[in-house]
Amino acid sequence: MCGISGIYNPSVQVAVDLGVLRRMTALIAHRGPDDEGYCLVNTARSAFSHYSGKDSSPAVSDQYPHLPSRKHANLAMGFRRLAIIDLSNTGHQPMVSADGSCVIVYNGEIYNYLELRDELRLLGHSFGGASDTEVILAAWQQWGQLCVQRFIGMWAFVLWDQRQQCLFCSRDRFGIKPLYYYWDEDRLVWGSEIKSVLSAVESRVLDPLMVWRSSRFPAMLAYEDATFWHDVKSLKAGHNLLIKAGSLSISQYYALDPSGFERSSLSFKQATARYRELVLDSVRLQMRADVEVGSCLSGGLDSSAIVCSAAGLSGHPLSTFSAYYATDPELDERFWINAVVSRSGASSYLVSPTAMAAWDHLQRATWYNDLPVGAGCVSQYAVMQLAKSRGIKVLLDGQGCDEICGGYNHSYYRYFADMLRQGQVFDLIRQMKRYFSNKNLSQVMPALGKTLLVSFLSERQLYRLESRYYRWEAFNRDFRRQVWSRVGDDDLMSGVVDLDTGKLSNFLFNLLYTTSLGTLLHYEDRLSMAHAVESRVPYLDHRLVELCFSLPSAFKLNPPWNKYVHRQAVRLIVPAAISSRIGKGIFGAPFFSSWMRGDLRSEIEQILHSVEFRRRGIWDLSTIMIAWQAYLGGDNAKAAMLFDVIALELWFRNVYMEFCKGVVD
């Protein structure tokens, strides 16, 4: 929906530097090309001063003067708008409440805003426009901090309440929308992206642990409240931040309750019906917009179910957007995409990036993400770019279903381990036979070993063990010592929790909160907003998430099918070929299989042989070059490690060097 920025000095004597605010907001201009706005507040008084910017809409520019270079205010808010709900100027931000006592900047969507608005009207609130932003303001005034419990949606907002003299910040339950901040007791700086916050602070100390984690466990790049910078933090999912009387406090307002995991009394038939009901309701709510809504379509079950559900609910065809690579069968899903298009009547748009286009996407995606990116990001970037070119502002996407329904292969090992620990030997043998029926002996033995390992080790121990053998060998000894002098295995995996639940539920809980989804949502937000496209994720409606975690493991996995309750719930909605499909192609790009040793070889070797790379101070150059030569000879064993090296080096060049000079200290 937009990008937000701002600075708050609790001391009214300390004025905000408006040049800094302008720069912060300009760095996230891509998130909101439709409008620009500012609000300055001297919190010792009651007046809010509104200003426009060079990209403000004509009506806003006529109404408000341009942001001055100097004016005394200890609170300043910046905003870039992507107009989706209430396209008129009544949706302009920063927005002041009807009684003039509160002001807000907000990024996201409250999908149940119409129902909340009706409820608030009955309670005496009035509304001057049709936006969900007004609803948040009224909800805050009616219910205070408890208002966020009533929201169905994704959000990151900062609200100043003049009467209560407090600054309130909130992030949605699962961290779909980002909110970063810097706090030094004298000042709070916030923004939708790290680069925005970083541009406003002088403390720019790199966190070597996050650099280390980027290659040792790349799915944990968005980890807890940490960023690559020591002093820039991420407000964690399901948390609020409050500053009152100069004191900052952070509180958790939402978390899944493990005591309810796998305790549902629903039969499988009832669970399937309830799951279908919630998916359809989530898609219905998330199609609310005053602009056209399209969808990503990968050819897998999750995005296919969204496309077919949306088409049935709306009564008209959706525009769908997909990436494919004809040279690699694992990366070409057109057969499955066409089946969904035929069933739903969708208008299908396809993109197949070339190696050189992907190289350009990789570097641009790195800047937009503020993080090293994975190989699949170039496909995601290209899909969002294609949607933008077709005039689409909103896309539905299938993120989250694997995490709540057991879509990853490692889910099976936890499922089998649960059966083994519960003494269900005959059921275990039967289920394993079905799981291994289409696998050869070279696949069976490692899977059996992993099942036994999972049975006896805790979740944190498993992640620690896996990380020991992950792609960290590219770092030199000095850098490894630097990291390990500060931390050990426990610190590296401190966010992974061991719950008193079944192994599968514990695994999915960690995927949702720590080891997978956060990074995927980070990419989802940045790569879509890079093109001023809002991505919505229906599977992360908290009602659906809570249902899935309450269901028994056997409802999620029924070998050889994963996500079983999901499959059964949508099997009459999607083509039969989709609902019965076992496995799916990779959502990635052919970096490993061909590009790195082919069309991109010269670009990569230019980096590997550069003085800048060799002076970085963290790389084990000998190990990297041996792996590179082996890869050129046809050995793909270290291809992923080599890609991670290039991705991190591109981050140093495209992001780190923009704010800091030299190598890692």
Q: Could you write out the three-class secondary structure of 175-236?
A: CCCCCEEEECCCCEEEECCHHHHHCCCCCCCECHHHHHHHHHCHHHCCECCECCECCCEECC
Decide: residue 485, CB within 10 A, 0-12 exposed, 13-18 middle, 19+ buried.
Answer: exposed
**275 and 343 part of one domain:** yes
**10 and 110 part of one domain:** yes
Give the closest residue to 136 by CA, choosing from 164, 158, 162. 158
Assess whether pLDDT exceeds 80 at residue 471: no
- Tell me, yes or no, whether 664 lies in a domain: no
What is the per-residue pLDDT across 516-561, written as a single tens digit (0 to 9) for each? Answer: 999 999 999 999 999 999 999 999 999 999 999 999 999 999 999 9
Q: What residues have CB less than 8 Å from 140, skipping those under 6 apart?
A: 97, 102, 104, 147, 159, 161, 168
**488 and 553 part of one domain:** no
Assess whether pLDDT exceeds 90 at residue 466: no
Assess whether pLDDT exceeds 90 at residue 511: yes
Which tokens is 12 given? Answer: 């009214």
Number of structural domains, the chain? 4
Q: Which long-range contacts (CB under 8 A, 24 or more apart) does 521-524 make?
A: 521/174, 521/175, 521/176, 521/222, 521/399, 522/178, 522/221, 522/222, 522/369, 522/371, 523/369, 523/373, 523/374, 523/377, 523/380, 524/176, 524/380, 524/397, 524/399
**485 and 370 part of one domain:** no
Question: What is the percentage of the chain residues whose pLDDT exceeds 90?
Answer: 84
Q: What is the mean pLDDT of residues 85-96?
A: 96
**539 and 612 part of one domain:** no
- Tell me, yes or no, whether 20 lies in a domain: yes
- H runs (alpha helix) in 230-267: none
pLDDT of residue 146: 98
Final residue of a structural domain among 507, 530, 551: 507
- Tell me, yes or no, whether 589 lies in a domain: no
Assess whether pLDDT exceeds 60 at residue 489: no
**61 and 148 part of one domain:** yes
pLDDT of residue 490: 55
Assess whether pLDDT exceeds 70 at residue 149: yes
- Cβ atoms within 10 A of the Cβ of 466, count? 14
Structure confidence at residue 403 as a pLDDT band (50, 70, 90)? very high
pLDDT of residue 470: 62
Q: What residues have CB less than 8 Å from 386, skipping those under 6 apart?
A: 321, 349, 351
**39 and 90 part of one domain:** yes
Measured between alpha carbons, how far is residue 480 from residues 207, 306, 353, 526 in Å? 13, 44, 37, 30
- Tell me, yes or no, whether 285 lies in a domain: yes
Structure confidence at residue 250 as a pLDDT band (50, 70, 90)? very high
- Tell me, yes or no, whether 227 lies in a domain: no
Instruction: Please identify which residue in the block is written with the tokens 């008129």.
Output: 88
Question: What is the percentage of the chain residues whose pLDDT exceeds 70?
Answer: 97
- Tell me, yes or no, whether 207 lies in a domain: no
The span from the CA of 523 to the CA of 331, in Å, is 19
SS3 content of the chain, % helix, strand, coil (to 5): 45, 15, 35
Q: Do residues 213 and 371 touch, judged by C-beta distance below 8 A?
A: no
pLDDT of residue 665: 36
Q: What's the CA angle centered on 505, arms 586 and 241, to 5 degrees? A: 90
Assess whether pLDDT exceeds 80 at residue 469: no
- Tell me, yes or no, whether 195 lies in a domain: no
**29 and 65 part of one domain:** yes
Give the closest residue to 550 by CA, choosing from 262, 268, 317. 262
Q: What is the mean pLDDT of residues 423-446?
A: 85
Rg (CA), the chain: 25
Structure confidence at residue 663 as a pLDDT band (50, 70, 90)? very low
Dihedral angle computed from the Cα positions of residues 1, 234, 196 and 373, in that order, rounded to the nearest 10 degrees: -80
The sign of the dihedral angle between the CA atoms of 23, 29, 32, 36 is positive
**64 and 138 part of one domain:** yes
CATH of the domain at 240: 3.60.20.10
Structure confidence at residue 1 as a pLDDT band (50, 70, 90)? confident
**475 and 622 part of one domain:** no
**57 and 34 part of one domain:** yes
- Tell me, yes or no, whether 665 lies in a domain: no
Q: Which residue range(s) make up the domain with 332?
A: 258-404+516-579
Q: What is the mean pLDDT of residues 462-473?
A: 74
**15 and 138 part of one domain:** yes
pLDDT of residue 525: 98
Final residue of a structural domain among 579, 613, 634: 579
Q: What is the mean pLDDT of residues 366-380?
A: 96
Residue 654 DSSP code: I
- Weakest mean pLDDT among 269-278, 581-590, 606-615: 581-590
What is the per-residue pLDDT across 181-225, written as a single tens digit (0 to 9) for each? Answer: 999 989 999 999 999 999 999 888 998 888 888 876 777 888 889
Final residue of a structural domain among 190, 220, 252: 252
- How big is the chain, counted in residues? 665
